[in-house]
Structure 1
């Protein structure tokens, strides 16, 4: 079976040899889709042999009829004369007039993309999973709380600003404190004025005095900014 476009192509191939063409400009050398439908309406050509959805399909007899009509038109006969001659004609009589090569009557054309039935993907069963889903990750071990990554401490007020004044926006942000690792001993060293230094490990002997002396500039800064609980008790 052929579509109408495939049928027209076979008519062209069948008339490629020994065909003088239409006798005048009012008749086409080759039938187009509109002419084939008209021939089927008047009985010169049979109705389509089958339907594939909304696509009409044609067979070898339709090819014989169309080529026979065009050869009779080339000989000068009118459509009325051709219809009177070929009405009810058998395949043998049509083949004698049409003189079509046998391979055009028997060779099936490959279906085009438009005629290929679409795959019914919605009717297919779902494919089995190729592998098991990944196991969930184990929970992270508990640790000391950390400051949020996005949180940043407020900038310290300027040394010349009075206590309680709004902090300067130009002061650089202080880094967030990093807690000691779990299990690490933490020692507290009093620096005076109520300030306490927390540090990992345990100081011994003169470590306390050396730490207090080294931290004196920090104590003075905290006192100047009003950040000590007992400013008068700082070391000098």
Structure 2
């Protein structure tokens, strides 16, 4: 369901697929696309989850069962990220610029049509723990100098452990990193610091 989902789900909270429909619709106007072929014009589900993991986009606002729920701020963040990427900006630069950005700042960057932001009546989602890390800082630090900015890429090791590296690892790199990390994973498992469900 695509168009009907856009028309009928103005509830204030959206599933990831509904959010991505809105991102696509918002970018259908005034968006020249990424300056190179390495960046997607519209983020996919994996990209949104990665953005949330790295703090580029807020984590989901709530959960309904196992379904993550997103809202207006997520839409503004994702569209702002893609518009800045279309200007040739790196994710590290964008993350520095958007750290602690208000909804007003995001709205000015994203230029999302008002009909895509209409909240409607939101269902009551399950309560979630406070997300202190997602709150904007009182006084955000100045962005790093361009020479210091770089994008981090995660290599999943199992059990919920992830190693962040500044380069873009290949499949062979990921396999070698996972093999080299085996003693670390054994230590983390012995101390009960891994997610047992993800390890099995």
Compute the TM-score of the two structures, normalised by the length of structure 1.
0.45
Matched, 1:21 2:33: yes
Which SS does the other structure have where 2:38 is aligned? coil
Separation (CA, whole Å) in 2 of partners of 1:99 and 1:109:
23
Matched residues, number: 111
Separation (CA, whole Å) in 2 of partners of 1:110 and 1:86:
27
User: Does the CA contact (< 8 Å) of 1:2 and 1:109 recur in 2?
Assistant: no
Match of 2:89 among 77, 99, 103: 77
- 1:82 CA displacement: 0.1
Separation (CA, whole Å) in 1 of partners of 2:58 and 2:116:
19
Aligned partner of 1:61 in structure 2 is 73
Aligned partner of 1:98 in structure 2 is 110
Correspondence list, 1:1-236, <5 A: 1-108=13-120
| Runs of 4 or more consecutive aligned structure 1 residues displaced over 6 Å after TM superposition | none
Which SS does the other structure have where 2:19 is aligned? helix
- 1:103 CA displacement: 1.0
- Identify the structure with the greater helix proportion: 2
User: Does the CA contact (< 8 Å) of 1:8 and 1:32 recur in 2?
Assistant: yes
Which SS does the other structure have where 1:51 is aligned? strand
Unaligned runs of 5+ in 1: 112-236
User: Does the CA contact (< 8 Å) of 1:6 and 1:109 recur in 2?
Assistant: no
Separation (CA, whole Å) in 2 of partners of 1:44 and 1:35:
11
Bigger RCO of structures 1 and 2 (CA < 8 A, at least 6 apart):
2
- 1:109 CA displacement: 9.9
Residues 171-209 of structure 1 show CA distances to partners (whole Å, capped at 9, x for unaligned) of xxxxxxxxxxxxxxxxxxxxxxxxxxxxxxxxxxxxxxx
Residues 21-40 of structure 1 show CA distances to partners (whole Å, capped at 9, x for unaligned) of 01111100000000000000
